[in-house]
């Protein structure tokens, strides 16, 4: 299939005939399958295609039924959820990425799928017996438990990727061979029976909190996102972004930022966000004059930032509620709002300076959509705004998602183009379940990691190790934790990397911030939130941090740029994300917890002016080109403004004003003419 749009499609999007072609759905699928393991599914046909379709539908109906009428006990709810996910993964996802494997299900995958169904059914069938002899494992229990662990790891490898699978396997190894590990990592170790009991017959392993959240909150919100997508809201995000930002300086880059931020509210994947919005924005940026690597970097940075956007936050916010305890979903979304806003402000500033540096303007009037026509469909955003309102007034999370789904169906009826018929609703249920497969596998494997950490005390050992390595220095501890979070987050989806980083890295920050507190003291909400959001941010940023920058690599597949250079451009544009987490740990006012409006406004002003200075220093342009000395001074000034200390703020503000006046007075002739015209 050609990558070019037909004349009719081009006319519908109000694009001139000579415009650069956009990326076809076939090309998008190819890029997704290359860089996003969650999209690497078989193209099935015949009877098995219908079997999978109805299996996915049954999965969604089961989840909806329990969401509406009440969940089963934790063991039954989670094991059925796991059984559905594993069995469907083995049919949909091939063992290897070969072209031939995409069209035919191997015989052994049918066996693995049947075994997975048995795993999912074991707890419901044997529930009374298992509960009666809790703590004792029979030979059959042991076999089923071993199969559950093996099938979970293999399904995760296929649907999520190798990194989290390897980490899960290493933790299992550590749990079993603990006595043989050196130094502070040594623990008593467990025999096979005890380990399998922990993994499948308690709520501390595979059937633990992570998959419990997947089987409740995450699934319903993924369904909500699926219904929204069916209304065409994804394309509407692009149209709205173009109508509002397309004619600004370097317009297409700002369209990418705006569109990706909106896409992030319903997307659970940085790579999927890149392909969805990037297939539209990257060719626009290239046509305007941005280099391939920069265009790809803009989209990758913006799409990765979408995972930081409330209310969905890549579904990690739901896990955060359970992991922190004593905090509501709304409090997490509120705390994440200003850091997310600052992140996109930073990317916006950098792209603006780059556009000014190379003399780019916005889209021409004939390339802009009719703003009035676009705004007529603003009602499509109602369900997203409603979800935020539902959470604000205290409606339970799952109930809010169900109301959001019903509201989406209702709102879609106002326009023939967006109206959801019975077939659309069925397909939305199927698509939602398909999206949930990788999340279920990832959270099941994450449960293995959490189980070993909790049972062995490894989290505390690693936390003490990080604090000792830094000598108790706050900045050094944060730096080492940042490195750990980035490495652990490489190649993992949002939910998985948060579970890993929050289990292994977050305790180091909490340990350090609580060092002056008496032993056993309760961890304040602000401390827990700061630590968990810190590792969450850097786990996400791993998607654009070379050498494993999957979001940037996907963007390079669209732009035709060099992948590593695209990754470095994305990391440079997302410099705010490398700074903001330090800010809200050192200055928790940004999280809007126990703070005054005066404190918050001051922190925001210094943060934004600091990012302006950092952006100018990195790009090498403000009101004119900067020489190397000016770039260093400007960058350091930005750091001083961002560092949350009164003295550095005052020094930074004074230098910033001087730099601004010098830049304004010596701005180049083109800028003067543009400003006096």
Q: Judge residue 463's burial from the number of C-beta atoms within 10 Å of its C-beta, 0-12 exposed, 13-18 middle, 19 or more buried.
A: buried
Between 523 and 640, where is the model more confident?
640
The pLDDT of residue 273 is above 60: yes
User: How far is residue 217's CA from residue 210's CA, in Å, rounded to a whole number?
Assistant: 11
Between 234 and 206, where is the model more confident?
206
pTM as predicted? 0.85
**Residue 126 forms part of a structural domain:** no
Cβ 347 vs Cβ 184: under 8 Å: no
Cβ 82 vs Cβ 206: under 8 Å: yes
**SS3 of the chain: helix, strand, coil, percent, to 5:** 75, 0, 25
The pLDDT of residue 179 is above 50: yes
Please name the residues in contact with 196: beta carbons below 8 A apart, sequence gap of 6 or more. Answer: 137, 141, 142, 145, 146, 149
Between 374 and 51, where is the model more confident?
51
The pLDDT of residue 18 is above 70: no
Between 54 and 364, where is the model more confident?
54
Between 435 and 33, where is the model more confident?
435
Between 2 and 387, where is the model more confident?
387
- pLDDT at position 74, please? 93
Centroid of chain to Cα 163: 16
**Residue 615 forms part of a structural domain:** yes
Task: Determine the average pLDDT of the residues in 354-363.
Answer: 84
Question: What band does 279 get if pLDDT is binned at 50, 70 and 90?
Answer: confident
- pLDDT at position 245, please? 85
The pLDDT of residue 669 is above 60: no
- pLDDT at position 211, please? 93
The pLDDT of residue 208 is above 60: yes
Between 168 and 674, where is the model more confident?
168
Percent above pLDDT 90 for the chain: 28
- DSSP alpha helix (H) spans, 246-291: 251-264, 270-288
**Residue 272 CA: distances (Å) to CA of 30, 267, 323, 499, 571:** 12, 7, 26, 20, 18
The pLDDT of residue 189 is above 80: no
Percent above pLDDT 70 for the chain: 91
Q: Which of 337-346, 413-422, 486-495, 498-507 has the lowest mean pLDDT?
A: 486-495
**Residue 390 CA: distances (Å) to CA of 127, 330, 592:** 36, 10, 20
- pLDDT at position 8, please? 54
At 430-466, the pLDDT tens digits run 999 999 999 999 999 989 998 888 888 777 777 777 7
- pLDDT at position 200, please? 94
**Residue 136 forms part of a structural domain:** no
**Residue 461 forms part of a structural domain:** no
- pLDDT at position 462, please? 78
* DSSP 8-state assignment for residue 312: T
User: How far is residue 227's CA from residue 220's CA, in Å, rounded to a whole number?
Assistant: 11
Question: What band does 654 get if pLDDT is binned at 50, 70 and 90?
Answer: very high
Domain region containing 616: 596-669
C-alpha angle 551/556/561, rounded to 5°? 150
Task: Determine the average pLDDT of the residues in 119-148.
Answer: 91
Q: Which of 47-56, 152-161, 211-220, 597-606 has the lowest mean pLDDT?
A: 597-606
**Residue 227 forms part of a structural domain:** no
Task: Determine the average pLDDT of the residues in 37-65.
Answer: 91
Report the SS3 class of residue 198: helix
Question: What band does 402 get if pLDDT is binned at 50, 70 and 90?
Answer: very high
The pLDDT of residue 494 is above 50: yes
The pLDDT of residue 5 is above 60: no
**Residue 471 forms part of a structural domain:** no
Question: What band does 15 get if pLDDT is binned at 50, 70 and 90?
Answer: very low
- pLDDT at position 661, please? 92
- pLDDT at position 470, please? 79
User: How far is residue 10's CA from residue 211's CA, in Å, rounded to a whole number?
Assistant: 44
User: How far is residue 496's CA from residue 388's CA, in Å, rounded to a whole number?
Assistant: 24
- pLDDT at position 568, please? 92
User: How far is residue 360's CA from residue 353's CA, in Å, rounded to a whole number?
Assistant: 10
Q: Token digits for 629?
A: 């000395």
Task: Determine the average pLDDT of the residues in 262-268.
Answer: 72
Task: Determine the average pLDDT of the residues in 534-560.
Answer: 87
User: How far is residue 571's CA from residue 583's CA, in Å, rounded to a whole number?
Assistant: 18
- Total of domains in the chain: 1
Between 26 and 631, where is the model more confident?
631
**Residue 634 forms part of a structural domain:** yes
User: How far is residue 625's CA from residue 476's CA, in Å, rounded to a whole number?
Assistant: 34
Question: What band does 408 get if pLDDT is binned at 50, 70 and 90?
Answer: very high
Q: How confident is the prediction for the chain on average, in pLDDT? A: 84
**Residue 153 forms part of a structural domain:** no
User: How far is residue 119's CA from residue 79's CA, in Å, rounded to a whole number?
Assistant: 7
The pLDDT of residue 613 is above 90: yes
User: How far is residue 369's CA from residue 7's CA, in Å, rounded to a whole number?
Assistant: 16
- pLDDT at position 21, please? 47
- pLDDT at position 1, please? 36
Question: What band does 653 get if pLDDT is binned at 50, 70 and 90?
Answer: very high
The pLDDT of residue 299 is above 80: yes
Question: What band does 322 get if pLDDT is binned at 50, 70 and 90?
Answer: confident
* DSSP 8-state assignment for residue 20: P
Between 539 and 60, where is the model more confident?
60
- pLDDT at position 6, please? 52
Question: What band does 629 get if pLDDT is binned at 50, 70 and 90?
Answer: very high
């Amino acid at each position: 299939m050609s990558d070019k749009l037909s004349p009719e499609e081009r006319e519908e999007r109000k694009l001139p005939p000579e415009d650069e072609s956009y990326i076809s759905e076939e090309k998008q699928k190819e890029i997704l399958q290359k860089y996003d393991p969650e999209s690497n599914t078989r193209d099935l046909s015949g009877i098995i295609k219908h079997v999978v379709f109805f299996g996915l539908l049954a999965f969604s109906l089961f989840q909806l039924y329990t969401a509406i009428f009440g969940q089963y006990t934790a063991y039954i709810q989670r094991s059925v959820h796991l059984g559905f996910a594993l069995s469907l993964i083995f049919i949909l996802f091939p063992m290897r990425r070969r072209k031939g494997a995409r069209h035919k299900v191997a015989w052994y995958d049918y066996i693995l799928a049947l075994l997975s169904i048995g795993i999912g059914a074991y707890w419901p069938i044997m529930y009374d017996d298992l509960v009666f002899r809790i703590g004792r494992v029979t030979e059959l229990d042991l076999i089923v438990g071993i199969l559950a662990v093996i099938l979970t790891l293999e399904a995760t490898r296929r649907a999520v990727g190798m990194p989290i699978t390897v980490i899960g396997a290493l933790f299992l190894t550590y749990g079993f061979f603990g006595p043989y590990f050196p130094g502070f990592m040594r623990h008593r170790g467990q025999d096979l029976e005890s380990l399998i009991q922990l993994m499948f017959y308690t709520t501390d392993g595979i059937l633990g909190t992570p998959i419990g959240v997947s089987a409740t909150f995450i699934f319903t919100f993924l369904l909500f996102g699926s219904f929204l997508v069916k209304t065409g809201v994804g394309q509407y995000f692009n149209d709205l972004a173009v109508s509002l930002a397309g004619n600004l300086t370097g317009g297409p880059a700002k369209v990418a930022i705006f569109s990706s931020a909106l896409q992030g509210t319903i997307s659970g994947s940085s790579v999927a966000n890149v392909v969805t919005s990037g297939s539209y924005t990257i060719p626009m940026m290239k046509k305007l004059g941005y280099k391939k690597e920069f265009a790809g970097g803009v989209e990758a940075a913006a799409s990765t930032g979408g995972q930081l956007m409330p209310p969905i936050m890549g579904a990690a916010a739901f896990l955060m509620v359970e992991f922190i305890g004593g905090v509501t979903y709304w409090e997490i979304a509120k705390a994440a709002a200003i850091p997310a806003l600052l992140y996109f402000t930073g990317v916006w500033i950098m792209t603006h300076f780059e556009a000014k540096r190379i003399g780019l303007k916005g889209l021409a009037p004939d390339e802009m959509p009719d703003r009035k026509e676009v705004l007529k469909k603003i009602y499509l955003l109602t369900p997203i705004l409603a979800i935020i309102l539902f959470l604000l007034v205290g409606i339970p999370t799952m109930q809010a998602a169900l109301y959001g789904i019903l509201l989406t169906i209702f709102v879609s009826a106002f326009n023939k183009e967006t109206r959801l018929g019975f077939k659309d609703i069925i397909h939305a249920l199927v698509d939602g379940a398909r999206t949930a497969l990788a999340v279920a596998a990832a959270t099941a494997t994450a449960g293995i990691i959490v189980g070993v950490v909790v049972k062995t005390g490894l989290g505390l050992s690693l936390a003490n190790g990080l604090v000792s390595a830094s000598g108790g220095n706050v900045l050094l501890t944060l730096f080492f934790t940042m490195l750990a979070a980035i490495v652990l987050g490489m190649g993992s989806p949002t939910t998985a990397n948060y579970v890993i980083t929050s289990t292994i890295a977050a305790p180091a920050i909490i340990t350090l911030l609580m060092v002056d507190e008496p032993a056993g003291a309760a961890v304040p909400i602000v401390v827990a939130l700061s630590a968990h959001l810190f590792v969450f941010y850097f786990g996400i940023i791993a998607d654009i941090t070379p050498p494993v920058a999957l979001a940037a690599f996907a963007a390079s597949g669209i732009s035709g740029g060099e992948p590593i250079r695209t990754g470095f451009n994305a990391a440079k544009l997302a410099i705010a994300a490398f700074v903001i987490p330090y800010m809200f740990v050192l200055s928790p006012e940004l999280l809007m917890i126990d703070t005054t409006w005066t404190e918050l406004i001051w922190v925001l002003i210094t943060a934004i002016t600091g990012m302006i200075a950092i952006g100018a220093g990195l790009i090498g342009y403000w009101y004119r080109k900067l020489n190397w000395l000016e770039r260093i001074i400007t960058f350091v000034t930005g750091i001083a403004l961002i560092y949350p200390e009164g003295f550095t703020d005052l020094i930074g503000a004074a230098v910033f004003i001087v730099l601004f006046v010098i830049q304004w007075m010596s701005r180049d002739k083109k800028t003067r003419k543009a400003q006096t015209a």
